[in-house]
């Protein structure tokens, strides 16, 4: 025990002597947690719109006013030349093209139907899909408004028909995307500190040659490994705590669930991530190799974690692959505890998955370390 305490004290001294590591551990994650949710916006706005209006009627102007006043679209060009508007699409200046035909107002009032052409620049699939959804909603409201104005008898007859839909947003009443984004980014930042810095710290011992001295010293390998892992486990918990404070004071996120439950599952998760970092260090011979291996896996972890895209929308094979992603489980835990006040029974799947990964990562890492040392 005394040997382990000496090693832990040594690690803390090395960490606090290096000002750049302190900045990486404490300053960089907090800056990222403040900046990233502000920059990463789930709402698509400022969609560039090119309009070709052959009608120039009051209704075509009303339609254009409804579209541009929605806050999602901005008018890039307006005229009668379709070819010029299409060139804006080809140059990637415009995201959406609307062509209003001649006689639009007359047919809409007299015959109660008319068609307009909508062309969407689908280079950015997400933006194109949302632009089409926004525009469909605006057109539906416009149709309703025209019916009320020019055919009130039909509008009155159909007013009470069909289903009335009322939505209620649970756990995120105002549909604030930061409520789901911030807890996920916090887990990602803790993962970087726990996994990357652990692997780089142990590999640095190989580079400077001290690993050989440790191997021939009376220091037990179990104590050496724990002495490397425990300081970063403690520091990752501190970063997580600072992240919760930033989430509260900067974004106003209130923790609805149990803090002991959250920290308890975080403790298991960090053991898994530290084991992952230790495992990388057994394969890498230099810090550069360790960084590239980390970069490879971290990119997969974050893209397949459900942080930015729902796991349910992924292909079936990708959904199964996320079962091996520890980041996926901890992000889910963070969101459920912070936003939904979930209990331990609700999180049994995530807990057992993280516990299994913690055992497997650390067991294989220790076995491979003994084999390659």
Condensed to tens digits (0 to 9), the pLDDT of residues 295-337 reads 899 889 988 998 888 888 888 999 999 999 999 999 999 999 9
pLDDT one-digit tens code per residue, 89-133: 888 889 999 999 998 888 887 777 788 899 988 887 778 888 888
How many Å apart are CA 360 and CA 169, to the nearest integer? Answer: 39
CA distances (Å), origin 50, targets 104, 119, 138, 140, 142: 18, 10, 16, 20, 19
Checking if the pLDDT of 372 tops 60, the result is no
Q: Is the pLDDT of residue 36 over 90?
A: no
Residues 6+ apart with CB under 8 A from 334: 183, 184, 186, 187, 262
pLDDT digits (tens, 9 = 90+) for 40-78: 766 778 899 999 999 988 888 999 999 999 888 999 999
Can you give the pLDDT at residue 345?
A: 94
Tens digit of pLDDT for each residue in 284-296?
A: 888 889 889 988 9
DSSP 132: H
Write out the H or E segment, with its range, that includes residue 54.
none
- Residue 162 backbone zone (phi > 0: left; psi -120 to 50: alpha; other: beta): left
- Name the packing angle between helices 259-283 and 326-335 (round to 10°): 160
Beta strands per DSSP E along the chain: 47-53, 73-79, 96-100, 117-120
Q: Say whether pLDDT at 167 is over 70.
A: no
User: Can you give the pTM of this predicted structure?
Assistant: 0.78
Supply 319's token pair: 């959904």
Cα–Cα distance, 98 to 103 (Å, whole number): 15
Structure tokens at 166: 């009322």
In this prediction, residue 165 has a pLDDT band, given cuts at 50, 70 and 90, of low
For 369, residues 6+ apart whose C-beta sits below 8 A from its C-beta are: 221, 225, 278, 281, 282
CB 28 within 8 A of CB 245: no
Pairing of strands 96-100, 117-120: antiparallel
pLDDT higher at 278 or 177? 278
Give, as one character, the DSSP assignment of residue 25: I
User: Residue 287 corresponds to which tokens in the numbers above?
Assistant: 């810090």
Residue 170 scores a pLDDT above 80:
no
């Amino acid at each position: 025990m005394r040997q382990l305490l000496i090693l832990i004290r040594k690690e803390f001294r090395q960490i606090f002597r290096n000002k750049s590591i302190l900045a990486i551990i404490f300053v960089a994650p907090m800056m990222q947690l403040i900046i990233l949710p502000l920059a990463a916006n789930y709402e698509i706005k400022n969609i560039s719109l090119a309009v070709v209006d052959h009608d120039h009627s009051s209704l075509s102007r009303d339609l254009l006013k409804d579209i541009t006043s929605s806050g999602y679209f901005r008018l890039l060009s307006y005229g009668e030349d379709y070819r010029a508007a299409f060139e804006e699409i080809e140059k990637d200046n415009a995201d959406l093209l609307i062509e209003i035909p001649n006689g639009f107002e007359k047919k809409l009032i007299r015959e109660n139907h008319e068609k307009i052409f909508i062309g969407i620049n689908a280079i950015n699939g997400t933006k194109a899909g949302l632009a089409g959804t926004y525009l469909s909603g605006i057109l539906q409201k416009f149709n309703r408004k025209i019916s009320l104005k020019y055919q009130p008898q039909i509008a009155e007859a159909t007013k009470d028909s069909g289903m009335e839909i009322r939505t209620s947003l649970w756990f995120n009443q105002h549909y604030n995307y930061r409520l789901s984004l911030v807890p996920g980014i916090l887990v990602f930042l803790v993962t970087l500190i726990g996994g990357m810095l652990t692997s780089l710290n142990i590999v640095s011992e190989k580079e400077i040659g001290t690993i050989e001295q440790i191997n021939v010293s009376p220091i037990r390998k179990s104590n050496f490994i724990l002495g490397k892992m425990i300081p970063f486990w403690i520091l990752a918990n501190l970063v997580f705590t600072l992240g919760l404070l930033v989430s509260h004071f900067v974004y106003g996120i209130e923790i609805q669930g149990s803090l002991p439950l959250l920290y308890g599952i975080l403790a298991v998760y960090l053991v898994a991530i530290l084991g992952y970092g230790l495992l990388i260090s057994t394969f890498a011979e230099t810090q550069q190799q360790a960084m590239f291996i980390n970069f490879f896996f971290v990119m997969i972890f974050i893209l397949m974690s459900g942080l930015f895209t729902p796991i349910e929308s992924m292909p079936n094979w990708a959904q199964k692959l996320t079962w091996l992603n520890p980041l996926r489980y901890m992000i889910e835990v963070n969101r459920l505890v912070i936003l939904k006040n979930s209990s331990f029974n609700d999180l049994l799947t995530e807990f057992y998955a993280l516990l299994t990964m913690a055992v497997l990562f650390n067991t294989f890492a220790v076995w491979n370390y003994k084999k390659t040392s």
